[in-house]
Amino acid sequence: MLHRLHGLIVLLALLCVAPAVAQAQAQAQSGAPAPGRKGAPQEAAEPLREALRLLDTIRVSNLEPPWRANACARVARVLARIGDAAAARQMSQSAINANAEPVKTAPPPAISPGVIFALLVQTHADLHDVAVVQQLAQQGFPILAKLPDPATRANMLPYMGLGLADIGNTEGAGRAALEGLRAATQTPPGRDQIGALSLVTIVQAKIGDRASANDTIQITRQAAEKMQDVTGRVYALAHLSRAEAALGNQDRARTLAREAAGAYDRTQTDASFSLAQRVSALGLVAIAQSEAGDRNAAHQTVRALQQTVGQLMQTYERFQALITLVETIVLVDRLP
């Protein structure tokens, strides 16, 4: 599900328009699903309620438009994933509106306009809004393709490709994967490059381009073997596990997911590995474990994630962590 973004923005604030927030908050408080809403898993209900309460607290922030647009897009994606279509679409429109506002200072690559479009492509793909996905991709693809930062391009282009694959646009998804692969070759070795290569593999597998997927995963495996950084290995192994699972290599995926969890355990004395970074790492590991078919391990990792989220007190960090927790629970619960 958006790994570089999690790593780069650990202090992301949230500011969205009141109507969608009020609707979502009222539904979360009452426990009643909206029309067409599948509802969040029970384990996610309380973190979702708290996240919405925090949202209500910080929505008067004077954040620059790119930060608001990115925040709204992420919330829209969460609402789509729990099946709250009406609120997700309202929040998506808030992101689009903020994305169009003039800015005083150019935003960091990870919250630039193309990234917003990529998040919204995935959001509306989850909502099965085919025409909207196509329109957003047409607007966002050229913006992303021109982004100077290769690491962001390498990760967000295939992420957009996943949304296109979900609506059956194999040509568009394949093009996004190819451009992501090209950007990955320009990205310095490390977790960002491995994350991008893994996403490209997943897109290629999803659209049935097995030959390309096999070629890409070979490159990904070689890059992961060279990863020496202790914390970086957590991400590298989890990303690679997800790619192997997408190709149906379940035994290899399960082994890698276990190694990712073991690598995370070895970071416990690393003071430079912040709590916010640990949240994103644990969420990634849990999803990798679930996709590899190791559901018991995934649920154990979710419990560790819950404990880590509980240690974050700063409003924006805690909100971001709660959203990550909800997303992780929903994705783990959704997988067979």
Residue 7 has pLDDT above 70, yes or no: no
Span 185-193, mean pLDDT? Answer: 94
pLDDT for 4 equals 42
Looking at per-residue confidence, does 316 or 289 come out higher? 289
Distinct helix (H) and strand (E) counts, the chain: 16, 0
**DSSP 3-state assignment of 242?**
helix
Burial class (CB in 10 A: 0-12, 13-18, 19+), 334: exposed
- One domain for residues 138 and 263: no
Structure tokens at 200: 């490209």
Structural domain includes residue 77: yes
Span 305-317, mean pLDDT? Answer: 92
Query: Domain containing 19: what range?
Result: 1-148
> What is the rounded CA–CA span in Å between residue 63 and residue 320?
15
User: Across all residues in the chain, what is the average pLDDT?
Assistant: 87
The DSSP secondary-structure symbol of 129 reads -
pLDDT for 336 equals 64
pLDDT for 299 equals 96
- One domain for residues 268 and 138: no
- Confidence category of residue 54, pLDDT binned at 50, 70, 90: confident
Structural domain includes residue 40: yes
Residue 28 has pLDDT above 70, yes or no: no
- One domain for residues 11 and 140: yes
Span 276-296, mean pLDDT? Answer: 96
Looking at per-residue confidence, does 153 or 268 come out higher? 153
Structural domain includes residue 182: no
Q: How far separated are the first and last CA of the chain, in Å rounded?
A: 17
- One domain for residues 39 and 137: yes
pLDDT for 334 equals 80
Residue 35 has pLDDT above 60, yes or no: no
Span 87-104, mean pLDDT? Answer: 93
Structural domain includes residue 2: yes
Q: What is the chain's alpha carbon radius of gyration, rounded to the nearest angstrom?
A: 18
Residue 14 has pLDDT above 80, yes or no: no
Residue 9 has pLDDT above 80, yes or no: no
Span 89-113, mean pLDDT? Answer: 92
Most confident of 25-39, 121-135, 221-235, 307-321: 121-135
Structural domain includes residue 189: no
Structural domain includes residue 224: no
Residue 21 has pLDDT above 60, yes or no: no
- One domain for residues 27 and 125: yes
Domain finish residue from 129, 148, 167: 148
- One domain for residues 6 and 103: yes
- Confidence category of residue 65, pLDDT binned at 50, 70, 90: confident
Structural domain includes residue 217: no
Domain finish residue from 148, 182, 199: 148
pLDDT for 60 equals 62
Domain finish residue from 148, 176, 200: 148
- Confidence category of residue 59, pLDDT binned at 50, 70, 90: low
Total domain count for the chain? 2
Structure tokens at 292: 């590899």
